[in-house]
Amino acid sequence: MSWDQMAPLLADAFGQTMYMVLSAMVVGGVFGLIMGIGLYVSRAGNLMASRTTFAIINVAVNIVRPIPFIIFITAIAPLTDLVVGRRIGIGAVTFAMCVMTSFVFARIVEQNLVTIDPGVIEAARAMGASPWRIIRTVLIPEALTPLILGYTFLFIGVLDMSAMAGYLGGGGLGDFAIVYGYQQYDWRVTYGVVLIIIVIAQLVQLLGNTLARRMQRR
């Protein structure tokens, strides 16, 4: 295949990857943050301690997180069908990615919140701040630097998940590398795509590090 034929296909694949990855980062970011904060505050002795809430989120995270994504996609197919209306295609893959990303990020968020000095939260409580206010004005700002780094770390995992999309006809760069590179014995294509992925990952890491450094004015 010539470069002229391949270029538009590569552009499509790039677009599909970006669509999947950014959707998962946004949706998974929001839900992961909520679940992670939920995990943290509901833990015994914390701001909104609740045995049941903690147990539910904790068990869910522990069950979902270790499942390899390729298996996870098929495992939640019935749910995907219910929500997206299809079991294959980019929509189905994106849905599965959003769910998995939420659970992965939840744990990252929780682990970063644990590093906050409990004394600072206690001080805010002593000043009469409500739990909701403490979450917004103490927890998140105090853990912002590690949260940004954790979110950046998450991006690489999500990029990795998107490579599996080919199995469900989701397209994307991973699929492109396999179909037009690996299966055609065209190593230039394979390595070309790998290079693109590396560049994306590098750029995002750079962005994350820069942002984190900006936040860390202490």
Nearest residue to 170 (alpha-carbon basis) of 63, 38, 42, 19? 19
Nearer to another protein, 71 or 126 (CB): 126
**Smallest distance from the beta carbon of 140 to another protein, in angstroms?**
9
> What is the distance, to the nearest Å, from the Cα of residue 45 to the centroid of all Cα atoms in its chain?
29
> What is the rounded CA–CA span in Å between residue 57 and residue 162?
25
Nearer to another protein, 40 or 180 (CB): 40
**Chosen residue from 18, 125, 153, 192 binding another protein by CB under 8 A:** 125
Does position 133 interact with another protein (CB under 8 A)? The reply is: yes
Does position 49 interact with another protein (CB under 8 A)? The reply is: no
- Which residues from 164-183 bind another protein, rule CB under 8 A? none
Does position 120 interact with another protein (CB under 8 A)? The reply is: yes
Does position 51 interact with another protein (CB under 8 A)? The reply is: no
- The string of DSSP letters for 55-71 reads HHHHHHHHHHTTS-HHH
What percent of the chain is helix, strand and coil (3-state, nearest 5)? 80, 0, 20
> What is the rounded CA–CA span in Å between residue 99 and residue 113?
21
Residues of this chain that interact with another protein (CB under 8 A) are 117, 119-120, 122-130, 133, 137-138, 141-142, 144, 215, 217-218
